[in-house]
Amino acid sequence: MKKRFNTTGVCVPRKHYMVDITKKLKEIRELIDNEFYFTINKPRQYGKTTTLSELEKLLSEEYLVISISFEGIGDSVFEDEKDFCNKFLKIMAKSLKFTDKKESERLLELNENVNDLENTSEVITKFIEDASKEVVLFIDEVDKSSNNQLFLSFIGMLRNKYLDREMERDYTFKSVILTGLYDVKSLKLKLRSEEESKYNSPWNIAVDFDVDMSFSPKEISTMIEQYSRENNIDIDIKSISEELYFFTEGYPFLVSRLCQIIDEKIKKDIKESWIKEDVQKAVKIINEEVNTLFQSIVKNLENNNELYELTKRILIDGEQIIFNPLDPVISIGLTYGIFKKGKDGLEISNKIFEEIIYNYMISKVRTSTENMSIYNIKSRFIKENGELNIEKILQRFQQFMKEQYSSKDQEFIEHHGRLLFLAFIKPIINGTGFDFKEVQVSEEKRLDVVITYNNFKYIIEMKIWRGPKYHEDGLNQLCDYLDIHGLDKGYLVIFNFNKNKEFKEERLNIQDKDIFEVYV
């Protein structure tokens, strides 16, 4: 059987190329050895199920591991306490059947005449008291049924048993791991009224789970190395791993999917070394895909206006937001994997998500924008040597704004101006270039767009006019930024919301840098 990269379901070492997560597993095992209960709550397709599968193998010699999932058991089982308790114990027994048939049968025998959670607690006590090894319980997809009071009562029962064990008054699981999208500590928020204490969680015994589940460049390299060795292909593993990390920030699904695209699409018929350009091609392909992860991100933004607006303030308006995980909107953005803690505050979690969200926001602006397509026909802005004519693009955008937007659109332009420009330039570079949005922290709230097109690089700064002093400071900052990128030419789009504004263009020489700017 030929191995492949996998992006659906659990990863299996004999079938799939996999990142070596030994270090992460050791960190998790240490929590289990210390008898902690905890929750692994990470965004969708973050490798939670695969991690549990590999963890079960690691623990199997020393512990009796019961690994179950609430995925697919249906909602009806949570409507009746007796049905739930019997179903739960049977699922546990089924899990044991493939690792310890004798213990599985013993658990089934104990399951007779169970009517409620109290009986279930007694069965767990008897089972663990006579078990051949200490017992560890994994429950995957816990939030599939987390909107049900019976489920909360169930984990409350596990909590009480944990506390009694600590006081040597009961036998229970050595460790319990709950995995899902949401932190189980917050699940009770869905059910409790505003008058009740919101943080009196039935799972407040859980310790914080601080294991980094994302893949570092070094970890990514273990998968690329395996692929390289088994296919006898010489690859600059360090360079490719760092390029994959650059676009994904180590998000497990994205890393695996990019590798899968390179192997099965870009290099399908040509088994040769991977280069950085292959990664970039794969990024272009994934950005045009429709998959459940991207659909989930868009759905979550569509269904939560506050989350949408905060995301726009970060990604489009270049606003610096202080990282505060206690903020409800920030918290939900972290839960969905949209946000991360960056060096300067709250950031979008990776460049691929930036592009997906950016394209989604552009599509919303386009629906309310007429006649843009007659201004930004791609062929008009490409020079013979394959270079973009940025000055012509900016002049054309200025014309578009002048002719299509009047003073009555002032509020719309203030809110969507930068998105309008990004929507304008997107069809011109699409298919050949990349555009990265980089927030520059300053009083001007600048947003720089770094465009790579063929072998050329351009920096276009977007900012709001706030007077000559701020403008001068911004020009100096742009020159410094051009130095960082080794460029001697930069571009500005200045949104001026003064009533008597002039649609003009200027060429400046600052610090030996050629700056071309347009006012809209």
Residues 382 and 510 in one domain: yes
pLDDT value, residue 516: 97
Residue 338 has pLDDT above 80, yes or no: yes
Residue 191 has pLDDT above 50, yes or no: no
Q: Tell me the average pLDDT across 201-228.
A: 93
Q: How crowded is the C-beta side of 477, counted as CA atoms within 13 Å?
A: 21
Residues 51 and 177 in one domain: yes
Residue 189 has pLDDT above 50, yes or no: no
Confidence class for position 371, pLDDT limits 50, 70, 90: confident
Residues 461 and 403 in one domain: yes
Q: Tell me the average pLDDT across 253-276.
A: 94
pLDDT digits (tens, 9 = 90+) for 3-15: 999 999 899 999 9
pLDDT value, residue 485: 86
Q: Tell me the average pLDDT across 329-346.
A: 93
Domain region containing 256: 217-286
**Does any domain span residue 278?**
yes
pLDDT digits (tens, 9 = 90+) for 433-484: 777 766 554 444 556 788 888 889 999 988 888 888 888 888 888 898 899 8
In 3D space, the residue among 137, 185, 157, 162 whose CA is nearest the CA of residue 84 turns out to be 157
Residues 520 and 399 in one domain: yes
Look up the CATH number of the domain holding residue 153.
3.40.50
Residues 441 and 483 in one domain: yes
Please give the tally of structural domains in the chain.
Answer: 3
Report the mean per-residue pLDDT for the chain. 88
Residues 103 and 232 in one domain: no
Q: Which residue has the higher pLDDT, 188 or 253?
A: 253
The Cα–Cα gap between 473 and 492 comes to 13
pLDDT value, residue 199: 42
Residues 184 and 231 in one domain: no
The Cα–Cα gap between 390 and 395 comes to 9
Residues 171 and 270 in one domain: no
Contact by Cβ (8 Å): 84, 71? no
In Å, how far are 221, 236, 450 from 225, measured between CA atoms? Answer: 6, 9, 31
| Largest Cα–Cα separation, the chain | 86
**Does any domain span residue 388?**
yes
Contact by Cβ (8 Å): 83, 116? no
Residues 249 and 179 in one domain: no
| Nearby residues of 511 by Cβ (< 8 Å), 6 or more positions away | 476, 479
**Does any domain span residue 321?**
no
Residues 93 and 143 in one domain: yes
Of 232, 254, 286, the domain-final residue: 286
* pTM for the whole structure: 0.86
The Cα–Cα gap between 312 and 302 comes to 12
The Cα–Cα gap between 108 and 447 comes to 62
Which of 175-189, 240-254, 381-395, 496-510 is predicted most confidently?
Answer: 240-254
**Does any domain span residue 149?**
yes
**Does any domain span residue 255?**
yes
- Token readout for 60 is 């199997």
Of 234, 259, 286, the domain-final residue: 286
Residues 416 and 500 in one domain: yes
Confidence class for position 184, pLDDT limits 50, 70, 90: low
**Does any domain span residue 487?**
yes
Place of tokens 């607006």: 309
Q: Give the torsion sign (CA, 216, 218, 221, 225).
A: negative
Residues 169 and 226 in one domain: no
Contact by Cβ (8 Å): 127, 107? yes
**Does any domain span residue 223?**
yes
Q: What angle do CA 319, 322, 326 make, to 5 degrees?
A: 130
The Cα–Cα gap between 306 and 312 comes to 10
Of 286, 315, 345, the domain-final residue: 286
Confidence class for position 318, pLDDT limits 50, 70, 90: confident
Confidence class for position 198, pLDDT limits 50, 70, 90: very low
Contact by Cβ (8 Å): 365, 417? no
**Does any domain span residue 444?**
yes
The Cα–Cα gap between 158 and 37 comes to 10
Residue 193 has pLDDT above 70, yes or no: no
